[in-house]
Structure 1
């Protein structure tokens, strides 16, 4: 399939902008709150050499439709929208790769639609998951939504783009960070506010999903930057509870992993997918149980 754009319609009638390229085993890329479909360009170009790649703008992110009703936005809707895109593209199963908000949707995809997932890559997922910060996270999310409405996306992007976990990107790649902020400023203020209120504020903590995660058999790669503080512990939690999972921590890296370190990110995901397709990304061997420190008999 050649590069192209198309429109998928969700089960509740929201129209989503979809981009595709390449041929081969499908990979679907799901973007973060601060990004959009353009955030995956380095991955679309790299992986389309061997795979059919798909990305899309989430509801609330132009050129996708921006519903004015906040009830149209939720974690369940965000997860179901991945299925809508896959169905529209005629894809039965795919490797799902998500960052941050997209990483949460990827986790929920594995829990809800395990038969449609070849693998899961969960990158930079953790904000609001830590139980001790739940109340703070919901409060600051509402403030972010209000600021998008009050200031507009272009003005507020310059503040939001300077969050602590974005600074490593600024330090190592000022041009890339400036482009990220510029694209953020082109978002819909209404869509961003509704996404923050409908999806971010009300999604369950990853820790509340433990029972389901322990039963989830989908091969999973978890990636975090070591300077993305509020995603590190959730990443280790996911590693402990998902049976066929591995965790990768990138040094001197913040939240925007695939943009900060595209080469490292692409190589890690490519190697992971190759192992999955070879049948070699397996659940942890019970002989390596963490309760045993040294063997004496």
Structure 2
């Protein structure tokens, strides 16, 4: 299995396919590198596509120390993958936990990003739910630590996962079965070290407002705790577009693969053509109708 060693000595499993402009896919907490298979198959026709298992997700290493997991470490791992493959710049695509990593990639490694696609990112960002999210994250960590196989069926039927289950029972079952194979320790440490400790997007407003990497935000309209953060990112990032998928939950790329692939392909095409620009300054948010 191909692996890349990070600066702190962790081995990360990666897979790649295709040739062309690179795309790096960063998976969510409930998934792993295999969660991007519909995108790897589609985009490898004209891009060099790379996906990897985050630290804590076999066959990557599973550090026992929770302090070897954090939001900034997640960004450093993504950069390590690019470095290990000799890639100077790539389109960065992330879902949920991977979406947060993508945002922070833009903040801390903007010179390595051709574009950012931030899908389903928002859990824990809403200030009114911030403390609740930290508490429930620690509870989820305990449940995973007791046994991923036992807790996976519960986690997989969350309020923003049932949309996937209803639309595509076979696809959802594959997702749930894969979740059950996750490392109990890796899942618990990821939840404690990354999810529960990451800053709210709203606390990063000043930094986001000057981050000019072309960005696409994608949200499902039934992914309630990502909707408002998605709108916030749209309004805050200078070169950001927002796509909302109807009747869709959190597991966007698997729940609606054709729609996801189409909107991502169009976004990347516009970026590579130089057509995805910052918002026109004439598009004043406070203006309803022009009178002068």
Instruction: Give the shorter-chain TM-score range.
Output: over 0.9
Equivalent residue number for residue 123 of structure 1: 119
Picking from 145, 150, 168, the partner of 1:149 is 145
Equivalent residue number for residue 234 of structure 2: 239
SS of 2:13 mapped into structure 1: strand
Superposition map of 1:2-41 within 5 A? 6-41=2-37
CA distance in 1, matches of 2:198, 2:290: 42
Does 1:292 pair with 2:287? yes
Picking from 176, 199, 202, the partner of 2:194 is 199
Does 1:65 pair with 2:61? yes
Output one character per residue of 1:151-174: Cα deviation in whole Å (capped at 9) or x when no partner: x11111001001100010011011
CA RMSD of aligned residues (A): 0.5
Deviation at 1:237, TM superposition (A): 0.0
Equivalent residue number for residue 109 of structure 2: 113
CA distance in 2, matches of 1:216, 1:77: 20
Equivalent residue number for residue 132 of structure 2: 136
CA distance in 2, matches of 1:74, 1:295: 47
Does 1:223 pair with 2:212? no
CA distance in 2, matches of 1:179, 1:204: 31
Unmatched runs of 5 consecutive residues or more in structure 2? none
Deviation at 1:149, TM superposition (A): 1.4
Equivalent residue number for residue 84 of structure 2: 88
Picking from 184, 188, 191, the partner of 1:189 is 184
CA distance in 1, matches of 2:181, 2:46: 31
CA distance in 1, matches of 2:53, 2:12: 6
SS of 1:288 mapped into structure 2: coil
Q: Which runs of 4+ in 1 moved over 3 A?
A: none
CA distance in 2, matches of 1:99, 1:149: 23
CA distance in 2, matches of 1:6, 1:85: 11
SS of 2:263 mapped into structure 1: helix
CA distance in 2, matches of 1:89, 1:56: 12
Report how many aligned residue pairs link the two structures.
Answer: 292
SS of 1:55 mapped into structure 2: strand
Picking from 265, 275, 286, the partner of 1:270 is 265
SS of 1:49 mapped into structure 2: coil
Deviation at 1:96, TM superposition (A): 0.1
Unmatched runs of 5 consecutive residues or more in structure 1? none
Deviation at 1:292, TM superposition (A): 1.0
CA distance in 1, matches of 2:145, 2:194: 17
CA distance in 2, matches of 1:128, 1:296: 41
Picking from 45, 51, 69, the partner of 1:55 is 51
CA distance in 2, matches of 1:112, 1:96: 13
Under a length normalisation based on structure 1, what TM-score does the superposition of the two structures give? Answer: 0.98
Deviation at 1:291, TM superposition (A): 1.1
Deviation at 1:29, TM superposition (A): 0.1
Output one character per residue of 1:247-267: Cα deviation in whole Å (capped at 9) or x when no partner: 000000000000000000000
Deviation at 1:207, TM superposition (A): 0.4
Equivalent residue number for residue 282 of structure 1: 277
